Amino acid sequence: MFSEAVLDHFRNPRNAGELPGATATIEVSNPVCGDILKLFARFESGRIGEVRFLCRGCTTAIACASLLTEQLRGRTPAEARAITPESISVSLGGLPQATFHGAQLAADAVGALLQKLSSAR
């Protein structure tokens, strides 16, 4: 049911944990399934320098959060806007419709992070 990429990110999550000194911290949730994603980011010279996450959720939610941290690092806010649920799904080898909500949660986190960043300026 899960691709090797999903299983790898789930079993070996990248950038898990809190980020001391984060510039922005956001939390998003999916009220239907109960998944919660907390994202920490440090912005440096107009780019996302460091990103970490905490996630309580299903296999796909954790895998998507892990992948998201890798995709966000080094990007400008404008570049980060290009991250969509569909692009996350493709990067993980295609998510079944039943688990696509994990990619949506990660994309919601990007939106919340960028909104927090723009309101802090």
The pLDDT tens digits of the residues spanning 65-119 come to 999 999 999 999 999 999 999 999 999 999 999 999 999 999 999 999 999 988 7
Indicate the length of the chain as a whole number: 121
Residue 83, exposed/middle/buried by CB under 10 A (0-12, 13-18, 19+)? buried
Angle between helices 59-72 and 4-11 (to 10 degrees): 90
pLDDT of the residue at 121: 57
pLDDT of the residue at 54: 98
In which band, very low, low, confident or very high, does the pLDDT at 120 lie, cut at 50, 70 and 90? low
CATH number for 4-120 (one of 3.10.180.10, 3.40.50.10800, 3.90.1010.10, 3.40.50.1860): it is 3.90.1010.10
pLDDT of the residue at 1: 82
Give me the chain's average pLDDT, please.
95
